[in-house]
Structure 1
């Protein structure tokens, strides 16, 4: 059957090609047996994966990135869920304006946010790099938590919560017994999205880095500027494979399509 919108279909195919072909080049180059980044690769070898997984700056910065991403995602959820509940279940005047205000960190360039955090928190209040980075990543992840949990709330029939309160349940018991279990897919989706976004962040982490605390993307960027071997391609493939694996498992267990479908409601 012919599509009714051939131009749109062609643009969609072109978009997929533009996104996937560079990734394909990186994946193929990571398995090269040569000593430089070349395409096509010179033979087949796994030695660059071994080199990437045993390179100390990569492994130490990986731990730093994981710690930062986990804590910032947890804080974003802890702050975002009450805001989403207030917007979608409360009686706030101007809900659209309030929601737009909480989503505003997505609009401001991250370098501007990083510079403001550096001047106010590090210079003004004397916070160290990790504390400032944690605050900045939490601010950047906060809109994702509000938006995704709000989308999940849009899929929950308020009549279920009204029925629980009508049967005598308090507001707190209704939340923990009814709303929270139904909200679980949105919570997992928001946590995963926040974690991945924080883990892959470069501009903010690059501006607020220190010698004692550096994230993996920043270390990879510094390595590329000084070296031209395929070790960065290898570690990129490892991160890509881990991200795809987590996304597939989460889709099978939670269901991203159902949760993100509520964003447009």
Structure 2
């Protein structure tokens, strides 16, 4: 099959190779029977997966990451859905405000939260970290949910209002079902992004509350065994499962097709 854009196709293939090959190296190393991170692997073993699942700091950090990502995702959706409706009604200034965290570096956001909330207001680490993750997830909630709304027929809600439905009833019976695929996709994307976040979590975490990616980073600085590779493989497998469920349930192509509208 020939393509009319050979340069673009070649660059796309090169990009995929650059992204995928290092991941394959990490996955292969996770199954090594050796004691150090080496490629090619020394034999085949599941010992490092067992070690990762029994390592208390990783297990504790996993629960912390799940808790943080879940709460931040819920808060981002609770804020993002009304914002999406406001944007859909023509308030473009609101859109720029809530999409701005995509432009500002995460370390800048973290430093601002650290200075203003942790030092200025003396808040604990977890509330500040939760605020930071929620702020970072808002663009995903607004943009993906907005894409779902862009695919819907705006006349449906107007028809419901014309038939006598109140604004609140029209929202719950018409608008919210239309937004459901986008909310589902935005929730999954926000959850995975929050769970894997490093810069903000590294800056705002405390000794009592540590996320899994940061704990893994600290472990790599002290040890060079394949347990981190095994943990990364488990996280990768979980992310793939979530992506497959989302594709089978909603369909990313259908949702993200509305982003350019």
Task: Identify whether the pair has TM-score above 0.5, normalized to the shorter chain.
Answer: yes
Offset of 1:20 from its aligned partner?
0.2
Offset of 1:98 from its aligned partner?
3.0
Render the CA deviation track for 1:164-187: whole Å, top value 9, x for unaligned: 111000111111001111111000
2:10 corresponds to 1:10: yes
**Secondary structure in 2 matching 1:45:** coil
TM-score (norm 1): 0.97
Offset of 1:208 from its aligned partner?
0.7
Render the CA deviation track for 1:70-118: whole Å, top value 9, x for unaligned: 0000000000100100110x243xx2x4312210011111111111101
Q: Which residue of 2 is the match for residue 115 of structure 1? A: 111
Structure 1 CA distance for aligned equivalents of residues 226 and 40 of structure 2: 13
Q: Which residue of 2 is the match for residue 25 of structure 1? A: 25
Q: Which residue of 2 is the match for residue 172 of structure 1? A: 168
Q: Which residue of 2 is the match for residue 227 of structure 1? A: 223
Contiguous gaps of at least 5 residues in structure 1: none
Structure 2 CA distance for aligned equivalents of residues 64 and 211 of structure 1: 12
Q: Which residue of 1 is the match for residue 54 of structure 2? A: 54
After superposition, residues 88-99 of structure 1 pair within 5 angstroms as: 88=88, 90-92=89-91, 95=92, 97-99=93-95
**Segment of structure 1 superposing worse, 240-249 or 100-109:** 100-109
- Contact 2:83/2:94 (8 A) holds in 1: no
Offset of 1:15 from its aligned partner?
0.4
Two-structure CA RMSD over aligned residues (Å):
0.8
Q: Which residue of 1 is the match for residue 249 of structure 2? A: 253
Q: Which residue of 2 is the match for residue 185 of structure 1? A: 181
Structure 2 CA distance for aligned equivalents of residues 143 and 250 of structure 1: 19
Q: Which residue of 1 is the match for residue 259 of structure 2? A: 263
- Contact 2:52/2:227 (8 A) holds in 1: yes
**Secondary structure in 2 matching 1:103:** helix
Structure 1 CA distance for aligned equivalents of residues 170 and 251 of structure 2: 24
Q: Which residue of 2 is the match for residue 105 of structure 1? A: 101
After superposition, residues 140-159 of structure 1 pair within 5 angstroms as: 140-159=136-155
- Contact 2:86/2:94 (8 A) holds in 1: no
Structure 1 CA distance for aligned equivalents of residues 110 and 181 of structure 2: 31
Contiguous gaps of at least 5 residues in structure 2: none
Q: Which residue of 2 is the match for residue 162 of structure 1? A: 158
After superposition, residues 66-81 of structure 1 pair within 5 angstroms as: 66-81=66-81
Structure 2 CA distance for aligned equivalents of residues 163 and 188 of structure 1: 25
Structure 2 CA distance for aligned equivalents of residues 262 and 178 of structure 1: 19
Q: Which residue of 2 is the match for residue 86 of structure 1? A: 86
After superposition, residues 181-220 of structure 1 pair within 5 angstroms as: 181-220=177-216
Instruction: Extract structure 1 runs of 4+ deviating beyond 3 A.
Output: none
